[in-house]
Amino acid sequence: MSYERLLPHIIEFVQIEDRFIKNEALDFAKLSFYDWLIVSCAGKNEPVAQIIRDYVSSESGVEIATVTGSSRKFPARAAALANGTISHALDYDDTHFLYVGHPSVAIFPSVLAVAQELNVTIESICKAFLIGAEVACRIGLALGRKHYNAGFHQTATSGCFGATAALARLYKFNERELRMALGLASTKASGLKSQFGTMGKPYNAGVAAANAVEACWLAQKGFTSAYDGIGGFQGYLLSHHSMDPRDIKISLEIGHTDFKFVDIKYKLHACCHGTHAMIEALKTVIEKNELTADNISQLLVVVNPRWLSVCNIQKPKTGLEIKFSFSFIAAMVFYQIDTASPKVYNDKLCQNEKIVALAEKVEVSAKDSLHDGQTILSVITKNGKTFEAKFDIMKPINKSELKDRLLSKAETLVGNRKANNIWKTLTESDNSRADEIAHFLI
């Protein structure tokens, strides 16, 4: 069976030599590191951030790693838990649509924590992350749509395996240690989409990061696990709704020098990535035709079916739920509320009469022929005219333009000075140490 071929494939990839790591992929890893640091800093005052800091503070422990928003240091596992949660608090981090997961928030928190423990460089951090992100993509692809559609949150499930692989790379595990760590990850990896719109969603990312630190620490000490916890008898693939060997076959066909991470997509709006194509299409059609909220009779939005169970909350009750509501976000665009600002997604907006009234005119449907990044919409005005638009967020953005947009996003979130200081530290010397970059999280 192809199930049992996946783990050897993953092990071989995790242990590839540095010379096979492509510079283009590493460049994107650095962009993601920058983006992750920025959204982490921006999320440090969120309620969930304070709660998770209080929790790790209550446990105390050996001082190793930095936690966002705290001048103290904590054990690596605690820091990974806190930073994974905090960095996903705003839901403003990168997304990989190959498996529909957020790689950075599950992997960088664990990598940075262990990097501080080992005192390694930024270059080592980014290389380890890249390996982990690739593993998350490949295992996520093998798990397939059935896993996601069954209700599992791939950021947390596939992300846990990715984070474990990244740490194994940092620790320079041999094959047995890597097998044991991934085996332990297979019995820990968890996370449900039912948590979307609550603090449980960012917590999923934190748990994935913390689980990876725990699994690698134990494996390093000789703790044993299933020899193949991923594709073996009653392993993760078969027990977590991965029932299609074709998905695994596609994953196995990815070469060890074929880095899928370069297809990573960055959020330029502070809401679920599934809504971004709609936002871009809507802005275009509104500007082109000078449409206003007052003359709208109906808005028809067509998306890939997967998004109906993710970001189609029709009557959100909290600011967090608004981030997963096509109808409310569409209304926000019409009323020129800045969807790029995290501050606008608040509980009070749920009761805004104008927003509520316009949201009721939005009808969302699905079409199988659309991929995850496509949206088609029709705006019908009160005088019977129809204006159509479409957008595809999968289309590549020029790297220079992408850098500028990420810097602009960063300046909005943390201010010009901090945004540029972090960028300078990341880009001017690959030999800067983990503590130097982690200091920006305080």
DSSP state letters, 75-114:
-HHHHHHHHHHHHTTT--S-BBTTTTB-HHHHHHHHHHHH
CA dihedral 24, 410, 430, 20 (to 10 degrees): -20
Q: What pLDDT is attached to residue 1?
A: 54
d(CA 303, CA 37): 31
Residues 6+ apart with CB under 8 A from 237: 3, 6, 142, 143, 230, 231, 248
SS3 state at 324: coil
- Dihedral sign from CA coordinates of 380, 382, 384, 385: negative
Burial of 105 per CB tally in 10 Å (0-12, 13-18, 19+): buried
- Count of beta carbons in the 10 Å neighbourhood of residue 16: 14
Q: Are 316 and 385 in contact (CB under 8 A)?
A: no
Q: In a structure prediction context, what are the per-residue pLDDT tens digits for the chain, which is 442 residues long? A: 578 999 999 999 999 999 999 999 999 999 999 999 999 999 999 999 999 999 999 998 999 999 999 999 999 999 999 999 999 999 899 999 999 899 999 999 999 999 999 999 999 999 999 999 999 999 999 999 899 989 999 999 999 999 999 999 999 999 999 999 999 999 999 999 999 889 999 999 999 999 999 999 999 999 999 999 999 999 999 999 766 788 888 899 999 999 999 999 999 999 999 999 999 999 999 999 999 999 999 999 999 998 998 899 999 999 989 999 999 999 999 999 999 899 999 999 999 999 999 999 999 999 999 998 999 999 999 999 999 999 999 998 888 889 999 999 999 999 999 999 999 999 887 789 999 999 999 9
Locate tokens 């503070």: which residue? 57
Q: What pLDDT is attached to residue 244?
A: 78
H helix or E strand, kind and range, residue 374: strand 374-381
SS3 state at 339: coil
- Mind giving me the DSSP string for 380-438? EETTS-EEEEEEETTSPPPHHHHHHHHHHHHHHHH-HHHHHHHHHHHHH-TT-BHHHHH
Q: What pLDDT is attached to residue 396?
A: 86
Q: CA of 125: how far to CAs of 112, 114, 217, 271, 358, in Å?
A: 7, 9, 18, 27, 46
- Dihedral sign from CA coordinates of 111, 214, 441, 432: negative
SS3 state at 206: helix
Q: What is the end-to-end Cα distance of the chain in Å, rounded?
A: 49
Phi and psi for 74 in degrees, rounded to 5?
A: -135, 170
Give the pLDDT confidence of 234-284 residue by residue, as tens digits. 999 999 976 678 888 889 999 999 999 999 999 999 999 999 999 999 999
Q: CA of 85: how far to CAs of 29, 36, 313, in Å?
A: 20, 12, 22
Tokens of 157: 């499930």
User: What average pLDDT does the chain have?
Assistant: 95
- How does strand 362-366 pair with strand 296-303? parallel
Q: Which residue in 179, 162, 158, 177 sits closest to 229, CA to CA?
A: 179
Task: Find residue 374's DSSP bridge partners.
Answer: 392
**Nearest-5° angle of CA 179, CA 183, CA 189?**
135
Q: CA of 130: how far to CAs of 28, 40, 169, 297, 413, in Å?
A: 9, 19, 10, 47, 25
